Amino acid sequence: GLYDMIGNVWEVTSDFYAPGHDPNEQHDPQGPSEQAAFYPANPHTPSRVMKGGSFLCAPNYCQRYRPSARDGRDPTLGASNVGFRLVYDHAPAA
């Protein structure tokens, strides 16, 4: 829910990843296109944005366990500390 924005895993999003943010996009930034996506650790694969942090974020390794934390991730690879969030848009009754 709205009050539980981080959990036990990094959340992979639908946005493609590039380092940094466009300062002009402050409301619902869309990120780069698939062709412009770039993650330095894996430059040949379009990476998705993953957010939040995980249970593996030890204080001496990962101090970014917060909703605004973001990193790149190859969407074809799985791990025990990476997941996704489902969203359901309930239509009001007629």
pLDDT digits (tens, 9 = 90+) for 44-60: 888 888 888 777 777 66
Model confidence at 81: pLDDT above 70: yes
End-to-end CA distance of the chain: 25
Contact 65, 9 (CB under 8 A): no
CA distances, 78 to each of 10, 31, 66, 82, 84 (Å)? 11, 22, 21, 7, 11
Would the pTM of this model clear 0.85, i.e. be above it? no
Give the residue with greater pLDDT, 69 vs 12. 12
Can you give the pLDDT at residue 2? 58
Q: Average pLDDT of 4-29?
A: 78
Q: For the chain, give me the number of helices (H) and strands (E)?
A: 0, 4
Per the prediction, the chain carries an average pLDDT of 78
Q: Rounded CA gap, 41 and 77, in Å?
A: 14
Mean pLDDT of the 3-21 span: 78
> What is the reported pLDDT for 61?
61
